[in-house]
């Protein structure tokens, strides 16, 4: 953008979490960053400059798939510094909650996300999925899961200037008693929630070694967890952060 400045993809540059995550640095704002950040983080990329020609990341097909394909086409380079990049290792439980939504992250040997989606007021009901996050699993099982929304909300969203580019191509639309389009996975909705969480937690700036368990979470709670992880960590070496005897 003309006269724009660099906006770091970090937690302290978050501007808005309504229907997506926006980052801002001074007067420069970039909207809907979660899907491209999920692709970058899901593929294990941690050194990248993204240039955009508008204040919002392209929606693509509503998933991370187009970004994964472009990143792989461009080729991913393993740099000399790769082995020394730091990670955050969870050694004691950390959790955040609201009245109806909850997340806890527990010690684990790898990065794992388990998510329960509950849409009680629709035919969808509940969906559950759990994956250990690796580049292979992300590409095969998560990246192509599209965002979703209710048909009854469309008009109201458009009045707010939201979902203006929404279509049956880039959004799974939930009708009164069925989906208006075909699903890529029978549990595509909860897989997309995991995709969003990967993008949100990437704003921590370091890989996580822990098991994230979420129930009915959204962007704001995901990012509250990220803030709590960063607020509770202590560096113990050049490669790992740990959490010791902490009760939340």
Q: What CA–CA distance (Å, rounded) separates 114 from 132?
A: 9
- Among the ranges given (53-57, 95-99, 136-140, 232-236), the one the predictor scored with the smallest mean pLDDT: 232-236
**Tens of pLDDT, residues 14-40:** 999 988 999 999 888 999 999 999 999
Q: What is the average per-residue pLDDT within 234-239?
A: 38
Q: Which domain holds residue 167?
A: 11-242
Question: What's the confidence (pLDDT) of residue 243?
Answer: 41
Per cent of the chain over pLDDT 90 is 71
- Name the band, by pLDDT with cuts 50, 70 and 90, for residue 144: very high
Q: Is position 192 within any domain?
A: yes
pTM of the entire structure? Answer: 0.88
Question: What's the confidence (pLDDT) of residue 120?
Answer: 87
Q: How far is CA 114 from the centre of its chain?
A: 13
**Tens of pLDDT, residues 183-228:** 999 999 999 999 999 999 999 999 999 999 999 999 999 999 999 9
Q: How far is CA 31 from the centre of its chain?
A: 14
Question: What's the confidence (pLDDT) of residue 236?
Answer: 38
For residue 136, pLDDT beyond 80: yes
Q: Is position 124 within any domain?
A: yes
**Tens of pLDDT, residues 153-179:** 766 655 555 554 556 778 999 999 999
SS (H, E, C) the chain: CCCCCCCCCCHHHEEECCCCCEEEECCEEEECCHHHHHHHHHCCCCCCCCCCCCCECCCCCCCCHHHHHHHHHHCCCCCHHHHHCCEEECCCCEEEECCCCEEEEECCCCCEEEEEEEECCCCCEEEEEEEECCHHHHHHHHCCCCCEEEHHHHHHHHHCCCCCCCCCCCCEEECCCCECCCCCCCCHHHHHHHHHHHHHHHHHCCCEECEEEEECCCHHHHHHHHHHHHHHCEECCCCEEECCCCCC
Q: What is the average per-residue pLDDT within 130-146?
A: 98
**Structural domains counted in the chain:** 1
Helices 188-201, 219-232: inter-axial angle, 10-degree rounding:
40
Per cent of the chain over pLDDT 70 is 85
Q: Is position 86 within any domain?
A: yes
Q: Is position 1 within any domain?
A: no
CATH number of the domain to which 182 belongs: 3.30.1700.10
Q: Is position 248 within any domain?
A: no
Q: Is position 60 within any domain?
A: yes
Q: Is position 4 within any domain?
A: no
**Residue pointed to by tokens 């999920």:** 38
**Tens of pLDDT, residues 76-95:** 888 876 555 678 999 999 99
**How high is the mean pLDDT of the chain?**
87
The residues annotated with a catalytic role in the active site are 219
Asked whether the CA dihedral 167, 64, 172, 118 is positive or negative, the reply is negative
Question: What's the confidence (pLDDT) of residue 93?
Answer: 96
Residues present in the chain in total: 248
Q: What CA–CA distance (Å, rounded) separates 194 from 116?
A: 10
Question: What's the confidence (pLDDT) of residue 248?
Answer: 26
Q: Is position 247 within any domain?
A: no
On whether the CB atoms of residues 145 and 245 are closer than 8 A, the answer is no
């Amino acid at each position: 953008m003309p006269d724009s400045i660099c906006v770091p993809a970090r937690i302290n540059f978050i501007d808005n979490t309504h229907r997506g995550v926006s980052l801002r640095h001074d007067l420069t704002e970039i909207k809907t960053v979660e899907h491209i950040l999920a692709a970058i983080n899901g593929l294990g990329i941690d050194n990248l400059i993204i240039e955009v020609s508008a204040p919002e990341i392209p929606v693509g097909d509503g998933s991370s798939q187009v970004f994964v394909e472009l990143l792989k086409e461009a080729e991913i380079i393993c740099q000399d510094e790769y082995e020394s990049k730091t990670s955050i290792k969870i050694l004691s439980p950390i959790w955040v909650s609201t009245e109806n939504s909850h997340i806890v992250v527990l010690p684990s040997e790898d990065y794992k996300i388990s998510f329960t989606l509950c849409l009680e007021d629709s035919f969808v009901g509940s969906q559950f999925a759990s994956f250990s996050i690796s580049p292979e699993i992300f590409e095969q099982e998560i990246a192509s899961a599209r965002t979703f929304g209710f048909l009854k909300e469309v008009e109201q969203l458009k009045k707010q200037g939201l979902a203006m580019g929404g279509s049956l191509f880039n959004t799974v639309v939930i009708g009164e008693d069925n989906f208006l389009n075909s699903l890529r996975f029978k549990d595509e909705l909860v897989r997309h929630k995991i995709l969003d969480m990967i993008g949100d937690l990437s704003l921590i700036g370091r890989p996580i070694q822990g098991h994230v368990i979420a129930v009915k979470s959204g962007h704001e709670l995901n990012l509250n967890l990220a803030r709590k992880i960063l607020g509770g960590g202590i560096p113990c070496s050049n490669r790992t952060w740990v959490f010791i005897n902490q009760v939340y």
